[in-house]
Structure 1
Amino acid sequence: MGRKKRVAAPEDRKIIALQMDATFFFERAVRSLDRYRYDKAIKYFRRACDYEPENPVNHCNLAGILSEVGKYNESNQILQKIVDEVDPSMTECYFYMANNFANMEDFEAAEKAIIHYLEHDEEGQFLQESEEMMEFLSCELEHPAEPATIKSREGLFEHDKARSLLEQGQFGEAVKQLKKLIKKYPDFLAARNNLALAYYYMGHFAKAMETIHQVLEQEEGNLHALCNLAIFYQHLGEKEKLGRLTGLLRKTYPYHQEHVFKLATTMGILGEHEAAYLLFRRILKSGACGAEGDPCLYHYLAVACANTDRYAEAERHWRETAKLDPKSEVPAFYLNLMEKRRTMAPPERSYLSYHYHLPFEEQFRAIGQSAVEDPLPDKIRKDPLVRSSFFWALRHGDLETKLQVIQAFGLIGDQEVTEALLEFLLDPEENDYLKRLAMFVLRHIGWTEPFRVVMDKEVLTADPRPYAPALPEWEESWSGVLRLAFASMNKRFDLVQQHDLETLWIEYLSRVHPKKPRLQKPEGWAAALEYLTAKMHRRAVTYEEMAVRYQISPNTIRTCVKHIDDACKLREKMNAIFSGPPTDESEPSQ
């Protein structure tokens, strides 16, 4: 009596243990930063370093926060430890140390650190800032200070030229420039990163992966390479590898704004929209590099908002995008999309692309509207992201998409397109009809040399004139008929329809061989071919209309149509396809 009884714990009580690891403390540090609790962020970043002392990212995160709160000396001690003990290749630490020394007004130490950075850093990501600091230090120390060499400037001109080609969508030429540069400077990692991207944009995934692994073999923590690799894994469906790499990127807290931007866009592409939202917002709030006047950044942030259901904020950012870039169609398109989403019940869940251009489907719709125009509008023809989509689709799209891409290439018609189509002809897995269309497009844009093409699994050398393997020779007068037809069809029929007309003419000539058609009136044959092509594509047309266009009698056209139809059984085929005669009621009976 008088004793206290101990209450027994319920048998069904479950105890969940917290997993105390570097990720746990990193996430709390980032959460504290978002709340401006720097004291807690520092404490949690220290714990992350304790759990993963070999990870330089943890140490850099801690050094960055210490610098932000004015603890420059302690920040430098950590940065020095990184290059001495953890990862000597992280030369950017010397740039960070120079900033800390400058803030402490130890200008001689700052000069020493910035010179070391310039002489040893290969990528030059802080080159402009370093040059500005050198100028400042020269004034403070009252003597000029020049590094013996600037390592990142080795091959810099060639790299800038290659990067410009990449930004213009000239991927093949960029590959040539970057390969030369890497041969000359094997340790030029920025060039290798851009070469990997060029391969990726062209659809050469195996080469892209090989190149990005070459970067990571030299510098395993290269953020640009890791971000690119994650995107490659996503396209290749490597879910397990992607999961591990995405986990690593989630724990990364970049110090420099360029790295923040790279990570933000990567996380968005990977579907990590909340992370992308926080990173893009961080860039905008920092005001770095003219962020507040960059329409692309507002678009990226708006997309991240939309993808995390922050629709009101998304609309606000797209309206700002429209103010900064009034000529762009992009903000208006997405504002209209947001308006549609508001009226849906329940809202449709589909994630938006972060690229600052209209969605790929909208680009193809524009191509369809411009299919008979020459040239294609510059906003489509010169947009590198659109061009990369075309190159990717030519290799990995379905048959209908490849058909559209080949037609679009006919409207672009530059050297890059020519090389892509010539390479397409040699792919044994591609459809033979698409290859014949590709040869037609190549001739259309000016190719005059024999083709090397794989047809029916055999490598052939094809005549640059119309592809007619069943005919032992090709007569110039037959090409004259095609020229008349194409001249009439220009800007009214697209390239696929023109190709179908040529195919029909070749089929007719092959079927009547060795007999040759009488060509006293080639206009009649050209008109007949256009008439039948229009019928094949369900376009309304009459003999009288053709007669006016070709300045020839309707009966002559009718006679030529009959000859072609008798040989090719075209009406019979169309009746089977369309389940009805293709004739117009307005035509006289035959």
Structure 2
Amino acid sequence: MGKQLKRSSRKATIVPFIQSGDYFFKKGMKAYDRGDLEKARKYFERAVRLDERDASFALQLALVLSELGEYQFSNQWLFKIIHDLDETMYDCLYFLANNFACLGLFREARQYAERYLAHEPAGEFADDAADLLELLRLDGSEWTEEEEQLMVLEDRARRLLEEERFAEAIEALEALVARYPDVWSAHNNLALAYFYSGDVDKAKQKVREVLKRDPGNLHALCNALVFAYYLREEEQAAALCETLAGLYPFFREHQYKLGATFALVGRFDLAFRWLHRLYKQGFGGDGPFYYWLACAAYYTGHEPLARQMWEVLATLHPEKRGEEPWAVSAPVDEALIRLMAWLEGDELADRLYGLYLFSRSPQAKEPSMSLAVCRLLPSDPRLRPFIDCFLFGLTDGPSAWVANIGRMVDALSAHNEEKEALCRFAFAMAVHPSADREPFANGAAWAAAIEYMWRRQQGERVTQREMAAKYGVSASTVQKYVQKARRLYT
């Protein structure tokens, strides 16, 4: 009989090898110290994938990208840090200034250098920022005190508009245009503020006023096209598209505005012309830039580029994975037909619930379906941020508020069978005039408070402690948010 293998009496010891973000970050730093930037980049990219909330990992990746000359990608990580991870990392402002200077965008470079010094007058890079500003001023274009004051006023008004504080934005912008009647950006932002606040007539009148005094003003023409599109003024929208298609703006910000506007109204052929040109020129775009470029590329037959751009977007916004424009959509079914009935409802809350249901359906992954739904909606400017978020997946600016509301409604829908009534109640509360400054950031707490109020209105005996257990928050938190909800809704 042949020899047999004997089972070892020793037990195998399994040593787990856990690769954390910190592990790859340390390896990246070693590669960086050796001067191997490409290897350092790969390690830092692994680190941020494993721990996307660590601002120090993202910062080191941004610095390596800058040294490799990939300034636009470096800027994306710097913007992510100051907007999403840690707004107090003011060093990012200096690095942005340096990147913009390398890209030849001197106005932006000067703006961020000034912002860095305002926050860190004795910071580590204060001398470097001052030197950079001195270089930028060699062309004799140093700002006057009046120009600096104008920039501060414009920045405040723009921030109010982005935060959807429309009444305050209108007040600030009206004062601004009265003092500086030739600052067209303020006039155009005022038109947007009127439109978002529901005063369509004033918005359109303001656009006409700008175009009368400054014929060919690109931002005014783009705003007019967006207004016509959302108000379903098809002939006007077609005429404006034809006018804008014949323009060839010189400045990059104008090219971006033009491309994004064409994409927003579904003219992906015209959008691709400008957005792709900007990309080839190294334009340091934001999340919406890569979103619209990916969509425009896909719908004009450039699928490899579309996939590449979506990867960039997904790196900046991981929640976008799975929402690609080429995702296969499900056929129209009875559920979609019922959904359309909500979109055609008489109440604003009905339409918002319909938009929400569509955004959570398989059809939402197909932009052409989103565009079709958009055209079915009535001309109500209050729908604008919900359309941008629920139909087109935007989460920046005003749409960030809608994304918070969506998460709140997600929580209500997941925990209840009475979805329709509860969700409509939540949307009615969210768009109540007294709630225009409420960010609805804590979705679970708001869901608990809203369900508690709704069930009490139905005559049910529920307690705040029950709602706290249901949504995984503390009873004191529920009490706090119930008080906030009552103040908003009464």
Q: TM class, shorter-chain normalised?
A: 0.3 to 0.5
The TM-score normalised by the length of structure 1 is: 0.40
Give the number of the structure whose alpha-carbon radius of gyration is greater. Answer: 1
Instruction: Name the structure, 1 or 2, with higher relative contact order (CA <8 Å, separation 6+).
Output: 2
More helix per residue: 1 or 2? 2
